[in-house]
Structure 1
């Protein structure tokens, strides 16, 4: 139990009705989850407004209500606290409630359109291999040392985030690495979090269904660096023209990485194969298990963070050479007949182009590249034609299919994608909304030596249709199809 007055420390309070010396058992933002003696924080969300559920929270036993506007009806023996912004207040309150766990860890936040999961996952694995108990908060999974906790959001809400960080501290973790999404930054889910450093990977068009404009999306990412303290570090991809923009107002020390421009952390690609690549980094030639230029950037970011966290560069490179990438990121599935399958999370034009450019660099020219790709429903529609165009430009055959259609008609999504295809590109295209059948068709098209890319879902083990998540794993389906082919 925590005193409400302690939980409200550093919160910008406008008005208090009632006593703040009472003990509070829990913080809640969902009135349905309220238990006796808890504090309910009314958040204005994109779908619902928590202020509409204050009475419900009181009925369920909430002792304190934190809101932006006091309700017309005030109950006796309930404390009401009016604040400027409940989402911002919640971050500070959750941090206070759990003992400010981020200040007791070296916590690094990674933001950007692509590469967040790979960088965060590799940092976690690297620091674990270097003997440091570490935590991970990512799209794929959350980890507290060796314990896996399923992930539901790229960045959890402020209460669950601080609970995770507190559990990391309790389990002896000294480092933590987390993906920080643009949604989380705008919604203040990381308010009150003390970051030791922030990383910017890159930025390209995504989530415009939420942010509306590209400039707003850039500004959302920039919030991570605007909020860093003076003793923190920033590490930005200087080859991305927005790298400098990210750190224009930061108080942190600014560091850069890149392959092309002069940077604090620089690398040169020596060789690139399906088995891995050789980079010249820190005046050493190192073989890595990851593939492609986009992963060279990810590796540089990982190396830069480790050095900025005072790890020995030579030890770091040695440990990094043993690391694998994140699940569903350029993950290879090889058929007995010598067909190379690649499953990748690429769900933005930039990510898809990066993966297909890497495949183009690896191919000899005699094999076919067959790409299976869709686009998510109820999301940014502007990227659909562009993704189809990119797939057709780099592939010999393209199968347009469903991704997570959610509440949209899969054929309508595919029609949006088809708008990006020119007259010659249309000849390469097959439209097949059943994703399993699309993968089957790709395997039937393939000959030994060919490369099949299954893009868009990567690590996901479900397909979301009409609000229901159905079991579906691109990797498992592709393996099954390869086995059927071999029978």
Structure 2
């Protein structure tokens, strides 16, 4: 972190600098950046951004009283009486330049890091963890930044809680600076569509940008699938030195076609990186050959089941190759990797398979259950809900794809947030009942009771699948987050049932 004059930052951002009216020479240097007035520390630049419900400039008095040195805002914010005479950086779209400003304040940290950014609807977390493991195997010191957790210094380093998949721009640049100071050399990073659309990764230099897949999600934020895709595609607008694209779906093929020099990956077709001779053990462990552009096959063993995880591993290997980590070296570390809340096996002495997975969109649920169907000889007993205050259009589709693939579907609550839980369940049930299904359908709003009901019905050879929340440790209801962990609840249900029914 360094201190910079507001006028210097304004020039870097292409913003107009308005010096303090009392004494133009009295501007104080900026030593930090935040967009939360309550978190301002002396010397910070306060980013007063326009919002859907309020303007950040409405909180400027609080920020200035806490010691803000200057304010970044738009012309509307600059006109607020509270900002009269205050050192201002004025830009018509301040959010778009906030990352660039933050990067300057924190010393352009990604110039000292190889950042591998992974975007896509599904697979970001798994690929990021595979990248972290592969980087460590290659003698690098990796950082991890994503949905499940943030690690500052390698797999055994300091872990921080994650709130967003991709933090806001000032937090992100400060975190990169912290990583660089701690000796991190490379960062495996999940990049959400929100982050790309809202400029959170502006000012970030990427060594590699990678794409996994795209399916329906976040249509409460994006206008439609094309808009969602275009947000993801911003990672491939030239901000990354290398590009890796999985072409197993039409969106990946479209992206690869418009990204010159992109390295392609496929589990089923023609691509620069391919998977051959895929085999699955009874416990779901997968073995395959990764064939890189030079044609020299690399054997890979994965504890993560599902064809989609073969694709995730190929994406990771291609990214690692781009930053100089040999695929054979990285693959050795893949063999023992597990990812919290992603196809996570729960063992409590039961005679059936128990899985917790984060699948919370239709394509992910379908891929999860299709993968388990090939692995499990018995029935699939599925516990699933949908989140409130999010894309309502996917709810009946979630019910439909789960009902069509299970012998028992227990519709339950996920994170209802501010919505009426019964209304969310009703939409899921409508989709489930419209679809020919294999077995029974239950609706149990209490998630703990729903998990217990599925466990009580499980027999040897079956699989109990609790999907939707994965690694999460809370359930949000009416603005209150209650402690809740699917893994813990599944273990408790199995123990209470004496290890499951026989």
Q: Same fold (TM over 0.5)?
A: yes
SS of residue in 1 equivalent to 2:179: helix
Shift in Å, 1:27: 1.6
| 1:313 to partner: Cα distance | 2.6
Determine whether 1:442 maps to 2:448.
no
Q: Is this contact kept in 1: 2:407–2:439, CA < 8 A?
A: no
> Kindly tell me: are residues 41 and 271 of structure 1, through their superposed partners in 2, closer, same or farther at Cα, counting changes over 3 Å?
same
CA change 1:226–1:481 in 2 (3 A) is: same
Change in Cα spacing, 1:9 to 1:193, as seen in structure 2 (3 Å) is farther
Choose the corresponding residue for 2:489, options 474, 477, 480. Answer: 477
- Aligned residue number for residue 37 of structure 2: 31
Contact 1:109/1:199 (8 A) holds in 2:
yes
Q: What is the CA distance between 1:320 and its match in structure 2? A: 2.3
| Counterparts in 2 of 1:427 and 1:359: CA distance versus 1, 3 Å | closer
Q: Measure how far apart 1:149 and its partner are.
A: 1.0
Counterpart in 1 of 2:387? Answer: 376
The answer to whether structure 1 residue 66 and structure 2 residue 72 are counterparts is: yes
3-state SS of paired residue (1:196): strand
Equivalents in 1 of 2:324, 2:435: separation in Å? 55
Q: Which residue of 2 aligns with 1:4?
A: 6
Q: In 2 relative to 1, CA 313–59 (structure 1 residues): closer, same or farther, beyond 3 Å?
A: closer
Q: Which of these residues, 343, 360, 371, is aligned with residue 373 of structure 2?
A: 360
Task: Find out whether 1:225 has 2:236 as its counterpart.
Answer: yes
The Cα offsets for residues 21-79 of structure 1, whole Å up to 9 and x where unpaired, read as 63123222122222333321111234432132234433433231211112253767621
Say yes or no: does 1:173 pair with 2:184: yes
Q: 2:28 aligns with which of 8, 22, 25?
A: 22
Distance 1:115 1:46, change over 3 A: farther
Deviation per residue, 1:111-152 (Å, 9 max, x gap): 000000000111112212332111111100000111111111
Confirm or deny: 8 A CA contact 1:405 1:464 kept in the other structure. yes
**Residue 416 of structure 2, aligned match among 381, 390, 405:** 405
User: Which ranges of 4 or more aligned residues in structure 1 deviate by more than 4 Å?
Assistant: 74-77, 247-250
Aligned length: 481
Tell me, what secondary structure is at the counterpart of 1:447? coil
C-alpha RMSD over aligned residues:
1.9
Structure 1 CA distance for aligned equivalents of residues 199 and 256 of structure 2: 19
1:423 deviation in Å?
Answer: 6.8
Cα distance between partner residues in 1 of 2:43 and 2:435: 66
Bigger Cα displacement from structure 2, 103-112 vs 63-72: 63-72
Determine which of 305, 322, 342 is the counterpart of 2:355.
342
8 Å contact from structure 1 (residues 105, 175) kept in 2: yes
Q: Distance in 2 between matches of 1:58 and 1:190?
A: 26
Tell me what 2:478 maps to: 466
Report what 1:292 is aligned to.
306
Structure 1 stretch displaced more, 212-221 or 308-317: 308-317
Q: How does 1:291-310 map to 2 (within 5 A)?
A: 291-310=305-324
Q: Residues 221 and 246 of structure 1 are in contact (CA less than 8 Å); yes or no, is this contact kept in structure 2? A: no
- Aligned mate of 2:330, from 316, 336, 347: 316
- Aligned pairs for 1:148-227 (under 5 A) are 148-227=159-238
Gaps of 5+ in 2: 292-296
Structure 2 CA distance for aligned equivalents of residues 386 and 109 of structure 1: 30
CA contact (8 A) 1:130 1:319 kept: no
Q: After TM superposition, give the deviation of residue 382 of structure 1 in Å.
A: 0.8
Please list every run of 5 or more consecutive structure 1 residues that lacks an aligned counterpart in the other structure.
none
Classify the secondary structure of the residue corresponding to 1:210: coil
